[in-house]
Amino acid sequence: MRTVPPVSPGEMLEEEFLKPLGLTKYRLAKDIGVPPQRIGDIVAGKRAITADTDLRLCRYFGLSDGWWFRG
């Protein structure tokens, strides 16, 4: 039996939020007040989502605080 690898937070961000909403990584970064490279690194799997970034993303997308840590 093959198992499906877990989805990374960056992949979730890109596939479930950015693409469906037509948002660029740059636009999201500017809207939540973080450097654009931070969002790019998260999507690329090079950086984890910190508590600060979680809070910013949750407020931006209307999610409960800590949502990105529960995934």
Range(s) of the domain holding residue 23: 9-61
pTM: 0.90
Q: Which amino acid is at 35?
A: P
**Domain membership flag for residue 21:** yes
Tell me what pLDDT residue 44 has. 97
Tally of domains within the chain: 1
Pair 8, 47: CB distance under 8 Å: no
**Domain membership flag for residue 44:** yes
**Domain membership flag for residue 39:** yes
**Domain membership flag for residue 37:** yes
Burial 43-71, CB ≥16 within 10 A → b, else e: beeebebeeebbbbbbeebeeeeebbeee
**Domain membership flag for residue 68:** no
6-53 residue pLDDT tens: 889 999 999 999 999 999 999 999 999 999 999 999 999 999 999 999
Which CATH number characterizes residue 25's domain? 1.10.260.40
